[in-house]
Amino acid sequence: MNVVMLLFPRLTQLDLTGPFEVFTRFKELQVHLVWKSRDPVTDASGLRILPTATFADCPQADILFVPGGPGQIALMEDDETLDFLRRQAVGARWITSVCTGSLVLAAAGLLTGHKATCHWSSIDQLALFGVEPVARRVVMDGNRVSGAGVTSGIDFGLTLASIIFGEERARHAQLFMEYDPEPPFTGGSPASAPPDMVAEARERLKPFLAERLAVTERAAAALRR
**What positions carry a catalytic annotation?**
99
DSSP string, 189-208: STTTS-HHHHHHHHHHHHHH
Task: Phi first, then psi: give them for residue 188, nearest 5 degrees.
Answer: -85, 5
Q: CA-CA distance, 121 to 123, in Å (whole number)?
A: 6
**Strand bridging mode 132-133 / 63-66:** unpaired
Nearest 5 degrees, angle CA 136-CA 137-CA 140?
75
Q: Say if CB 18 and CB 151 are below 8 A apart.
A: yes
**Strand bridging mode 41-42 / 48-49:** antiparallel
**Strand bridging mode 41-42 / 115-116:** unpaired
Q: Which residues pair with 137 in a beta bridge?
A: none
Q: Say if CB 107 and CB 34 are below 8 A apart.
A: no
